[in-house]
């Protein structure tokens, strides 16, 4: 934390920002947020997510959020937490109180990181074009890992110059992301979110348990006001929700209408502010005799 | 949307005369509900429409509604539909004391045009007259905003509630239609839970309105897009999926089985820029109501009502698909009845007939008109 937020350092919620060579190891990243831009095809505006998720997926482990504009510090902290990145935050003084609340929340819900879950491997040629492809894959919750070479353990490998992904296709990253989605198939996606287009999901797990973090970029970082069923989540795999921690929501906020159909898990997530953390236990079907109480 | 999506959208912008028909989307309908022995739509009176006119039902200057006229219109419409002498017998064919009834209004044009509170109140009175408890009557819409504008609560008997999916029960996770229209991420449209878990019957009370995407909005669109969420995704582009999506949603159980009566409120209507009614100059006064169980048959006549009015005003037909009348600027469409915001799809009504929802051919519709 920069000196602007020294009070948070004093409270033990953050460490002082490094200086000198240590600081130089932190790569500058822009602030995260959501813009509303006019839609040329309709009378409406559409949300435009600015996220660093793809940069972190690509390898940045130390990020420097310089010049965070007012209102963006809490989201920056949540974004860095979501992607397990060390970050320097330089908050606007108006954000100190909110950032303190967020850091308290994140501290209370921290845990040793679990392996990233993904079923798409992207062979990154480090081009700016591929960067935009990664950006779109992140924003569309097509969960991927950047790999050095095709990994047979992943369901789909995205590599430019292959028959499925010709190099020229990447000239339109939007269509390229749609191509990746089509090749994988929606039924095979590890996470689907219904009811929102402004939330990024991050899924980690180790076979016994998993953690799903939902990062909301909505204008006020909040899904529909006090909606107990703001987002429907569909996960590939059978899980039992173990803990739900939404930032700045009532203590009675809970996941509802949990369903298992085949090898999937679905549930409603109530409205939350900025970030929600969902811990899940994998269901041992053998122990349950092949079905779960939530079977539907 | 990002820069790339913008470029893609720009590339997809229609050129005059260049639009090709879109293929019918792949729909996945998910519901555990089975149809009733006689589904409400098209119900016991397929291909049957009763229209009741009343020159006194609304004052065109003040828009004040004449309640005795409304009462007489509803009584006349229902008895003519069923063949009974006493309106209570007509209502008793559809509803009884054991029912929990949802009145599906249309408030998307409120406060300028909507299901008229006086009409809704008279429907509620008739339900109560055949034994339905006020506590078991819910005036509703999917969304929470516009339904509060008409203040239905001030017109109906005590105990009747005004609700939306935001205020009561939310969405049913087990009943939805999944389709990917334009590459959107959110591909599901969920049915509101009050339909699946509470209502035993639904009275559908649409208006007579033009619609910038579907051509007109009547029985089918009110019950389909008004009871499912995430439906606007079908008409974010010049070419829409309203042609098939409306009818597909209307077939989903239990919505189809439980929608047992359609009463189209045509005291006033909207002939352009619907479904909203921001400009009074686009409102008109058909001064009629239509009754039936067949939503297709009623909506078939609605097309003519809207299109005839547009012809009288000297503007393009709802069937006009010429891209020279298309604009992406909402102000053009709001201001100019010769501009379209989408390629209108009044054909959604005929398409719904192919799904078994009713009779489209006017030669096969028995239409009775009376004037109060």
Taking the CA of residue B180 and the nearest CA in chain A, the distance in Å comes to 10
CB B20 within 8 Å of CB B338: no
Specify the pLDDT at position B19.
66
Q: Are strands A231-236 and A264-269 parallel, antiparallel or unpaired?
A: antiparallel
Q: Which residue has the tokens 């959107």?
A: B184
Q: Is B236 in contact with A44 (Cβ distance < 8 A)?
A: yes
Take residue B83 and report the two structure tokens written for it: 């063949």
Of B68, B70, B82, which is closest to residue B116 (Cα–Cα)? B70
Please indicate whether, in this complex, the C-beta atoms of B8 and A175 are within 8 angstroms of each other: yes
Give CA–CA dist A183/B296, Å, rounded.
39
Contacts of B82 (CB under 8 A, 6+ apart): B45, B89, B90, B93
Those of residues 97-126 in B touching chain A at CB distance below 8 A are: none
- Alpha-carbon gap: B186 to the closest alpha carbon of chain A (Å): 5
pLDDT tens-place string over residues B283-301? 999 999 999 999 999 999 9
Q: B46: how many CB neighbours lie within 10 A of its CB? A: 19
Share of chain B above pLDDT 90, in %: 89
Whether the full predicted model's pTM is greater than 0.95, yes or no, is no
Alpha-helical runs (H) found in B12-97: 67-82, 87-92
DSSP A169: G
Put simply, whether B323 touches A (Cβ < 8 Å) is no
Across the interface, whether the CB atoms of B185 and A197 are under 8 A apart is answered yes
Other beta carbons less than 10 A from residue B290's beta carbon: 28
Of the candidate ranges A225-234, B100-109, B325-334, the one whose mean pLDDT is the lowest: A225-234
> Of B140, B107, B125, B132, which Cα lies nearest the Cα of B71?
B125
Q: How far apart are CA A49 and CA A139, in angstroms?
A: 7
B4 and A232 within 8 Å at the Cβ level: the answer is: no
Q: Which residues in chain B are closer than 8 Å to A178, comparing Cβ atoms?
A: 183
Chain-chain contact of A194 with B12 (C-beta, under 8 angstroms)? no
Nearest to B236 among A42, A140, A232 (CB): A42
Per-position pLDDT tens, chain A of length 296:
777 678 898 888 989 888 888 889 999 999 888 887 665 444 455 678 889 999 999 999 999 998 899 999 999 999 999 999 999 999 999 999 999 999 999 999 999 999 999 999 999 999 988 999 999 999 999 999 999 999 999 989 999 999 999 989 988 888 999 999 999 999 999 999 999 989 999 999 999 999 999 999 986 555 445 787 789 999 999 999 999 999 987 778 899 999 999 999 999 999 899 999 999 999 976 544 433 333 33
Residue of A nearest to B143 (CA): A224
Q: Residue A45: its pLDDT value, please?
A: 59
Pick the residue from chain B with its C-alpha nearest to A46: B1
Residue B187: C-alpha distances to residues A217, B8, B43 (Å): 20, 20, 30
Residue B4 has a pLDDT of 41
B contact test, residue of A194, A197, A233, A255 with most B CBs within 10 A: A194
- A268:B173 CB<8 A: yes
Of residues A139, A181, A197, nearest to B186 (C-beta): A197
Nearest chain A residue to B170, by CA: A229
Sequence-distant (≥ 6) Cβ neighbours of residue A285 within 8 angstroms:
A238, A291, A292
pLDDT in tens, B21-42: 789 999 999 999 999 999 999 9
CA distance A226 to chain B (A): 9
Give the dihedral sign, CA A16/A21/A22/A28: positive
Contacts of B106 (CB under 8 A, 6+ apart): B114, B115, B141, B205, B206, B207, B209, B217, B222, B226, B275
Question: Cβ A174–B330 below 8 Å, yes or no?
Answer: no
Collect all residues from A whose CB is shorter than 8 A from any CB in B: 37, 39-44, 46-48, 132, 135-136, 139-141, 172-175, 178, 181, 186, 192-197, 224, 227-229, 232, 257, 259, 266, 268, 296
The pLDDT of residue A67 is: 84
Q: What is the pLDDT of residues B63-85, one digit of tens each?
A: 999 999 999 999 999 999 999 99
Please give the interface size between A and B, counted as residue pairs whose CB atoms are below 8 Å apart.
86
B145–A contact, CB cutoff 8 A: no
Task: Note the pLDDT tens digit of each residue in A264-280.
Answer: 999 999 989 999 999 99
Q: In chain B, whose CA is at the least distance from the CA of A226?
A: B166
Calculate the average pLDDT of chain B.
93
Residues A40-62: tens digit of each pLDDT: 444 455 678 889 999 999 999 99
Contacts of B330 in chain A (CB under 8 A): 43
Residue A20: strand, helix, or coil? helix
- Selected for mutation to probe chain A from B166, B173, B229 (highest A CB count within 10 Å) is B173
Closest residue, chain B, to A224 (C-alpha): B166
| Whole-number Å distance between alpha carbons of B236 and A79 | 30
Give the pair of three-digit tokens for residue A188: 């095979």
- pLDDT of B331 > 70? The answer is yes
Sheet of B171-178: strand order equals B28-30, B171-178, B188-192
Q: How many Cβ atoms are within 10 Å of A281's Cβ, its own excluded?
A: 14
Q: From CA B372, how far away is CA B69, in angstroms rounded?
A: 7
| Predicted local confidence at residue A252, as pLDDT | 83
Looking at the partner chain, which of B10, B180, B190 has a beta carbon nearest the beta carbon of A40? B10
B197 touches chain A (CB under 8 A): no
Containing A79, the helix (H) or strand (E) segment is: helix A73-82
Distance CA B258, CA B249 (A): 13
Residue B193 C-alpha, separation from nearest chain A C-alpha, in angstroms: 11
Distance separating alpha carbons of residues A79 and B147, to the nearest angstrom: 38
DSSP state of B289: E
B8 and A229: CB-CB below 8 Å?
no
Residue found under tokens 């900025």: A274
Q: Is the minimum CB–CB distance between B5 and chain A shorter than 8 Å? A: yes
A211 burial (CB, 10 Å; 0-12 / 13-18 / 19+) is: buried
Q: Which residues of B touch A229 (CB under 8 A)?
A: 170-171, 173
- What string of DSSP letters covers B121-171? HHHHHHHHHTT--GGGEEEEESSSSGGGTT-GGGTSPTT-EEEETTTTT-E
- pLDDT tens-digit profile of B304-324? 999 999 999 999 999 999 999
DSSP string covering A233-278: EEEES-EEEEEEEETT--TT---EEEEEETTEEEEEE---BSEEEE
User: What 3-state DSSP class applies to B228?
Assistant: strand
Q: Does pLDDT of B124 surpass 80?
A: yes
Is residue B262 over pLDDT 70?
Answer: yes
**Residue B217 dihedral angles phi and psi, to the nearest 5°:** -130, 115
A chain contacts of residue B7, beta-carbon cutoff 8 Å? 172, 174
Angle between helices A73-82 and A96-108 (to 10 degrees): 20
Write out pLDDT tens, residues B184-243: 999 999 999 999 999 999 999 999 999 999 999 999 999 999 999 999 999 988 889 999
Structure-token match 């009763």, residue found: B50
């Amino acid at each position: 934390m920069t000196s602007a937020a020294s009070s948070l350092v004093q409270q033990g919620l953050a460490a002082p920002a490094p200086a000198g060579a240590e600081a130089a190891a932190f790569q500058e990243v822009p602030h995260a947020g959501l813009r509303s831009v006019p839609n040329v095809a309709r009378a409406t505006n559409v949300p435009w997510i600015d996220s660093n998720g793809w940069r972190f997926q690509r390898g940045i482990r130390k990020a420097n959020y310089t010049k965070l504009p007012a209102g963006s510090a809490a989201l920056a902290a949540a974004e860095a937490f979501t992607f397990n990145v060390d970050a320097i935050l330089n908050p606007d003084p108006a954000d100190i109180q909110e950032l303190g609340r967020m850091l308290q929340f994140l501290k209370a819900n921290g845990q040793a990181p679990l392996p990233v879950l993904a079923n798409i491997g992207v062979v990154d040629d480090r081009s700016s074009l591929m960067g935009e492809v990664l950006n779109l894959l992140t924003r569309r919750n097509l969960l991927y890992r950047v790999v050095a070479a095709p990994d047979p353990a992943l369901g789909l490998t995205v590599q430019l110059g292959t028959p499925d992904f010709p190099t020229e296709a990447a000239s339109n990253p939007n269509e390229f992301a749609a191509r990746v989605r089509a090749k994988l198939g929606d039924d095979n996606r590890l996470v689907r979110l219904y009811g929102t287009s402004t939330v990024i999901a991050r899924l980690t797990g180790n076979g016994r348990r998993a953690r799903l973090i939902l990062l909301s970029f909505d204008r006020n970082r909040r899904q529909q006001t006090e909606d107990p069923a703001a987002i429907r989540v569909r996960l590939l795999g059978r899980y039992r929700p173990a803990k739900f921690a939404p930032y700045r929501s009532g203590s009675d906020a809970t996941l509802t209408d949990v369903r298992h159909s085949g090898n999937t898990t679905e549930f409603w997530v109530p409205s939350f502010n900025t970030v929600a953390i969902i811990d899940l236990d994998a269901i041992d079907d053998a122990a349950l005799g092949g079905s779960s109480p939530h079977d539907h | 949307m990002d820069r790339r999506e913008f470029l893609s959208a720009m590339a997809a912008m229609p050129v005059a005369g260049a639009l090709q028909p879109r293929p019918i989307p792949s729909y996945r309908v998910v519901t555990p509900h089975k149809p009733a022995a006689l589904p409400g739509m098209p119900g016991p009176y397929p291909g049957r429409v009763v229209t009741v006119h009343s020159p006194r039902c609304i004052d065109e200057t003040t828009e004040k509604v004449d309640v005795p006229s409304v009462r007489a219109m509803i009584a006349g419409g229902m008895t003519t539909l069923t063949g009974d002498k006493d309106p209570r017998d007509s209502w008793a064919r559809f509803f009884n004391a054991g029912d929990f009834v949802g009145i599906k209004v249309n408030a998307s044009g409120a406060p300028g045009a909507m299901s008229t509170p006086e009409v809704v109140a008279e429907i509620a009175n008739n339900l109560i007259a055949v034994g339905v408890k006020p506590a078991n009557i819910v005036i509703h819409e999917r969304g929470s905003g516009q339904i509060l504008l008409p203040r239905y609560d001030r017109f109906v008997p005590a105990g009747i509630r005004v609700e939306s999916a935001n205020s009561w029960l939310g969405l049913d996770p087990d009943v939805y239609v999944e389709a990917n229209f334009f590459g959107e991420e959110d591909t599901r449209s969920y049915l509101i839970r009050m339909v699946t878990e509470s209502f035993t019957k639904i009275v559908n009370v649409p208006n007579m309105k033009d619609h910038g995407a579907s051509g007109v909005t009547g029985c089918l669109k009110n019950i389909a897009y008004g009871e499912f969420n995430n439906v606007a995704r079908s008409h974010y582009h010049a070419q829409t999926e309203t042609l098939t999506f409306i009818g597909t949603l209307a077939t989903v159980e239990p919505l189809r089985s439980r929608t047992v009566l359609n009463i189209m409120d045509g005291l006033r209507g909207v002939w352009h820029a619907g479904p909203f009614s921001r400009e009074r100059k686009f409102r008109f006064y058909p001064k009629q109501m239509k009754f039936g169980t067949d939503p297709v048959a009623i909506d078939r006549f609605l097309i003519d009502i809207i299109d005839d009015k547009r012809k009288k005003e000297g503007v393009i037909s709802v069937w006009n698909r010429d891209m020279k009348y298309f604009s992406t600027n909402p102000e053009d469409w709001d201001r100019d009845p010769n501009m379209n915001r989408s390629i209108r799809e009044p054909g959604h009504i005929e398409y719904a007939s192919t799904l078994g929802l009713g009779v489209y051919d006017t030669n096969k519709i028995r239409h009775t008109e009376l004037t109060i």
